[in-house]
Amino acid sequence: SRGAVGAADDAEPQGSLFNPTAEHYALRELCAAFVRDEVEPQALEFNRAERFNHPLFRRAGELGLLGVTVDPEYGGAGMDAAAACIVHEELSASDPAFCLSYLAHSQLFVNNLARNGSAEQKAAWLPAACSGEAIGGMGMSEPEAGTDVLGMRTRAEQQAGGSWLLNGGKMWITNGAVSDTELGDRYLIYARTAGPEVKASKAVSLFYVERGMAGFSLGQRLKDKCGMRASPTAELVFENVSLPAANLIGQPGGATVCMMRNLEIERVVLAAMGVGIARRSLEAMNAYATDRRAFGASLRDFGQIQRHIAESYAEYMAGKTYLYQTALGLDLDAAGNRLDTDGVKLYCTTMGKNVADRAIQVMGGYGYMGEYAVERLWRDAKLLEIGGGTLESHHKNMVRDMSQLDAMP
């Protein structure tokens, strides 16, 4: 049954909303087996140690998961947004921190480059990223530029001959480090390339930066986080980093569209993480309420407990349905899907946190202990309401877009 993490026996059949094709169903079975056999056994240990599981990441590459949305000619699986959601849902039902590092690599670096890079850039940089040989990430946020991302201060100035000189820093970068002292391998970095006279949305460019470039260093690895402890977070520093002209992704000043297009898939897979957290938490509280007895009766016979379980199930199913409906309608090569990509993240991330909270309440003292997983899922879930866009930014974006609607769908 689904009570055993990673077991796909009770998964919806192929042709359903959650597994729309045979390929999606096979992918879910693959991920479920990977989670059961390899992800779940290490989750508690690596989270307690705040350590990134590099061999497990490479194993995901061997299974073809790191390039799930990338064309096969570059080493990917050539699948869609729904496939990306399946992977994130399954991984997050066990280890959201490992999944967060997977997201930063597979979506923020790999999918971003696959959608916005030239054929030459994709051929040069994607195969090693899809195989797991190289670990990637993306740099957008800064110490004083989070939701106000276009207020970034990192700058790249074009030099004689066409090269660029990059200066500044990025903060809260997932996969920014793979240990306390070692950078990851490859990054896509957003930087301002025009002066204040140019509109901010036309002044940002995207660059490929890799470890070993002179002037590129690890500022600090950020530890003692509330959750997502097995996913390394870091500050990146750029001091006169010289970038070849060929490392510019797209056109100068053209990265805002790249950013917005990739934010849409990022928000959808973050919603999938909320669904995965909710599913595991619901399974845990449902099983516990059956096994635990109090006052001579099963815990699930008490009305207060029934409310926690029933409301969690209804919210989980509503969120999962919204997730896959949105994913199946998402064109990875186009922008303009903000209303529902923001909406599904707004709903599913808070839903996942709330279901994990209820699971702790149902399980009492056991739920509060690390070995029962739900306390870790609860801590991990909080980041989903902040990363990839705060809840408040989703409110703003959605209401702005809804001003163009005469009637609701």
What residues are labeled active site? Answer: 266
How far is 220 from 298, CA to CA, in rounded Å?
A: 50
**Per-residue tokens: 193:** 């390339």
How far is 44 from 46, CA to CA, in rounded Å?
A: 6
Helix, strand, coil content of the chain in percent (nearest 5): 55, 15, 30
How far is 112 from 181, CA to CA, in rounded Å?
A: 26
Q: Which helix (H) or strand (E) holds 329?
A: none
Q: Which residues contact 255 (CB under 8 A, 6 or more apart)?
A: 190, 204, 205, 206, 249
The DSSP call for residue 107 is I
| Beta pairing, strands 248-249 & 155-158 | unpaired
